[in-house]
Structure 1
Amino acid sequence: MNNPSPKSSTSNTTPIKEGINGELIEVKAPVKQKFYDFYLDEHQNMACRRLHFAGSSFGLLGLAKAVKDRSAAPLVKGIAAGYACAWVGHFFFEKNKPASFKSPLKSFASDFRMYGDVLRGNLSLKDKSLDRVR
């Protein structure tokens, strides 16, 4: 028997899926998605998003240079620059505390998920009305 395909939802409510007998089933978002939704809510300001994108780029450049040079120093500098950019974005533009203070690992993973969404064009650095995530 074919697995039913999820039906799209037009609002930010829980997704709905059609069951085997045609009944509608509410699908709970996985924990990862719930945290990412929270993470995106904490990054509505475009200056904050841009600073996060720059900071993640600095971190990745530091990682690449560290591998190339076989030295940890560029990685440490890249991470420091990345967090500095992100925290400036939160404290001065978004006016909230970084999620990394409460959930550092989930926040770190979500930052790179957000970075990927920006690269794929799913999140805008110009206007949040252009976002295609959620």
Structure 2
Amino acid sequence: MESRPITSYRAFWPYYLGEHTRPATRMVHCFGTSVAIIIVVLAGLFGEPWLLLAALLCGYGFAWLSHVLIERNRPATFKYPLWSLIGDFHMCGLIWLGRMDDELQRLGG
């Protein structure tokens, strides 16, 4: 846990990855985010705004469950909501591109 508040995304990113040390946590996050993106697209295509709530529940639900059941820590979302959302897309992007291991290596993990 950090002692001082984080004041930049550049400083937040290593902290965020430190809260997602288990590969299963990262994969569950990415799954939930992927499904949430699909639901948002469907909401737009079919004009069903209630699906946006389903997307939020899916995206955050999978992420939070992964922290409780796999990582056994408190989601960074509670302390840094915007940066956590950005971090989730950043992490998922790296996973989708097959570059997550490179990023962990770069940061010394």
Fold-level match, TM-score > 0.5?
yes
Q: Which runs of 4+ in 1 moved over 3 A?
A: none
Partner secondary structure for residue 102 of structure 2: coil
Taking every aligned residue pair, what percent have the same amino acid on both sides?
33
- Distance in 2, Cα, partners of 1:36 & 1:69: 35
Residue 5 of structure 1 aligns with which residue? none
Q: Alpha-carbon deviation of 1:63?
A: 0.8
TM-score using structure 1 length? 0.69
Q: Alpha-carbon deviation of 1:70?
A: 1.4
Q: Does 1:106 align with 2:83?
A: yes
2:43 corresponds to which of 66, 70, 75: 66
1:47 corresponds to which of 4, 24, 32: 24
Residue 84 of structure 1 aligns with which residue? 61
**Which structure would you say has the larger Rg?**
1
Q: Does 1:116 align with 2:93?
A: yes
Number of paired residues? 98
- Distance in 2, Cα, partners of 1:34 & 1:118: 20
- Distance in 2, Cα, partners of 1:72 & 1:39: 30
- Distance in 1, Cα, partners of 2:31 & 2:79: 22
Query: What value does the CA root-mean-square deviation take over the aligned residues?
Result: 1.3
Partner secondary structure for residue 132 of structure 1: helix
The structure with more helix, counted as a fraction of residues:
2
Map Cα deviations across residues 101-128 of structure 1 (whole Å, 9 max, x no partner).
01111100110010111111111xxxxx
The structure with more strand, counted as a fraction of residues:
1
- Distance in 2, Cα, partners of 1:41 & 1:32: 14
TM-score using structure 2 length? 0.84
Q: Structure 1 regions of 5+ residues with no counterpart?
A: 1-29, 124-130
